[in-house]
Amino acid sequence: MKPSPEIVERIKQLRDDINGHNHQYYVLDAPTIPDAEYDRLLRELQQLEQQYPELINPDSPTQRVGAEPLKSFAQVTHTVPMLSLDNAFDEQGLRDFDRRLCERLHLDQIDYTAEPKLDGLAVSLMYKNGRLVQAATRGDGYSGEDITQNVRTIHCVPLRLLGQGFPSVLEVRGEVYMTRQGFAQLNKLQVRRGDKLFANPRNAAAGSLRQLDPRVTSDRPLMMDCYGVGQVDDGHGANSLPDRHSAILAALKSWGFRVNNHIETVSGVEGCLRYYQHIHSIRDSLDYEIDGVVFKLDQIELQNKAGFVARAPRWAVAHKFPAQEEITRVNAIETQVGRTGALTPVARLEPVFVGGVTVTNATLHNIDEVQRKDVRVGDTVIVRRAGDVIPEIVSVVMEKRPDNSSVFELPTRCPVCGSDALRVEGEAVTRCSGGLYCPAQRKEAIKHYASRRAMDIEGLGDKLVEQLVDEQFVNHVDDLYALEAGPLMTLERMGEKSAHNLIVALQKSRQTTLPRFLFALGIREVGEATARTLAHHFGSLEAIMAADAETLQQASEIGPVVAAHIVSFFAQDHNQQVIRALREKGVSWPDIEVDQVTQGHPLAGKTVVLTGTLEQLTRNEAKERLLALGARVAGSVSARTDMVIAGRDAGSKLDKARSLGVEVVDEAGLLRMLAG
């Protein structure tokens, strides 16, 4: 059947697109589409050329392996071409591959070498008489780039082979890649240097190998796993390597090469499928990126019989994992408020199937990340999903950006409760300041309020708080004091006694101290020590609420960041309403007479450590009284410790204090200081 003009034009368009993407991916290391999209374009072209073979020409991407190498490196011709692999994208595709191979070789079952498919850059290493003489990239499969000096900087690549028995000419092939940990460290270094971040470990590895200055490459955390051989000559024109691929890999390992430790030999297609499922299950625990597994016929003689097609061996296949990167469109950017008040931009996406699930949302982390990637509504973007990690936008396809797009700006008020959204200088996250009131934060606010070192409401644990909020018994912390035993008994695991005990604990908590109440409010950066400092410096809640940032910083150890959080918290009408409601329901505390603050006490400003068992005070009581006198109570002894209070059975802390010459006081001495 003669192809229509539309078919001819579609084939031309596909070839142009694929060639363009090849250039971006292989030559410039700047891919604009994910691998899954590229694979779809190539499959469509293959199907059309299979249907209309008269349209095939030598320039088609299906008739070549890759793309031309960069011109800035010397050219290296591969004596044995570095061909690519055909792909199987599902179980049926793998079964078809195995069936075809069995039929071609007249076998019922085939043994395969199975290995993870590393997501890196294929390279060739040439050894002569055991010495590394040349390293090259794959390039277009027939010629690549001479990267010998760069590869020599990779520590896991032997410059001289170990052991003996290796051929006089040995070309080893493998994958250069970067571990996830190494990639994270490299990007941290890029941030410190003010340089551009790498998009993913594969791009980082490829860019590192293509540095003209090998000193740059030597700073990059590159690894290489070997997966096979090319040219081999034992000095007499013969190949003296073992007759099985798995044995060749074992020989390479003995000569000093790194070989992936998850390589196995499996039997038949069922063995292949079991291996695939196993590697897929551990994928996210690996410290390197993989996008599938590779199966190679293990017997070399059978490989030779199976032969090759135009661009790939018939005896090997890459069984790809479900795509973890896809291309889609940003329909909207919304702001979510987390349980700690953090405002997080979230992209609402045109639904797309990624990594085995349909993705409709992707996190944008914070406003700095939105600005760095320049994500806008209407953009075409690449989305990545890895395991159970929340999907994220990798990059924007800039050439597809609509003309009317506008820069996203984070709201200045919380979209949930309307409180001010505050971003303190030096922090990446913008937060809602309506901590007591904001529905997005209510569970965490109540849990903190009820905690032992805050209002100490015994029996009000995390699970019960979850129930109270979910059943709408409690919306804000002041609602706790309106609870009654009867309705509480309807909750799961809440009998009559438990309900009664909770009401008693709530009644008891109405009487507290100013430091505890301040801490219970959950103001950002205001811990126990800061709450106590504020209470003893200002004496009353009203004085603290009325203070501006400059006045707050007059208190000991209150800096501009903490002061900003305090001012913002009390500036919110919602928070003030909740505090008034708590007071109306009987929550009270005595003010502290400012003229009674013992700033001149010998313990004021001293760092004290408690150790051992006290007889007349509990550890918490001693800590409270020390803090009230202006002391700092630390958990460990160091050279900066001023005093150690040693009770009965004091152990290693006492020994360390004596070794450092730190003053040691017993309980009687402590009581005298507290009294005086």
Q: Could you tell me the two tokens for 199?
A: 């998009």
Q: How far is CA 558 from the centre of its chain?
A: 33
Least Cα distance to 616 among 607, 625, 603 occurs for 625
Give yes or no: 463 in active site: no
Calculate the dihedral angle through the C-alpha atoms of 548, 550, 553, 554, rounding to the nearest 10 degrees: -100
Query: How far is the C-alpha of 295 from the C-alpha of 228, rounded, in Å?
Result: 12
Calculate the dihedral angle through the C-alpha atoms of 244, 247, 252, 256, rounding to the nearest 10 degrees: 180
Q: Could you tell me the two tokens for 186?
A: 């490299």
Query: How far is the C-alpha of 96 from the C-alpha of 93, rounded, in Å?
Result: 5
Helix (H, G, I), strand (E, B) or coil at 125: strand
Q: Determine whether 401 is exposed, middle or buried from the number of CB atoms within 10 Å of its CB (0-12, 13-18, 19+).
A: middle
Q: How far is CA 91 from the centre of its chain?
A: 30
Contact 454, 519 (CB under 8 A): yes
Query: How far is the C-alpha of 572 from the C-alpha of 163, rounded, in Å?
Result: 74
- The C-alpha R_g of the chain, in whole angstroms, comes to 34
Query: How far is the C-alpha of 439 from the C-alpha of 475, rounded, in Å?
Result: 7
Query: How far is the C-alpha of 197 from the C-alpha of 208, rounded, in Å?
Result: 13
Q: Could you tell me the two tokens for 530?
A: 């800061």
Helix (H, G, I), strand (E, B) or coil at 143: strand
Q: How many helices (H) and strands (E) does the chain have?
A: 24, 22
If one counts every other C-beta atom within 10 angstroms of the C-beta of residue 224, the result is 24
Least Cα distance to 23 among 139, 119, 135, 120 occurs for 139
Q: Which residue of the set 2, 12, 117, 296 is catalytic?
A: 117
Phi then psi for residue 56, to 5 deg, are -70, 135
Least Cα distance to 523 among 597, 461, 605, 441 occurs for 441
Phi then psi for residue 645, to 5 deg, are -95, 115
Which residues participate in catalysis according to the annotation? 117
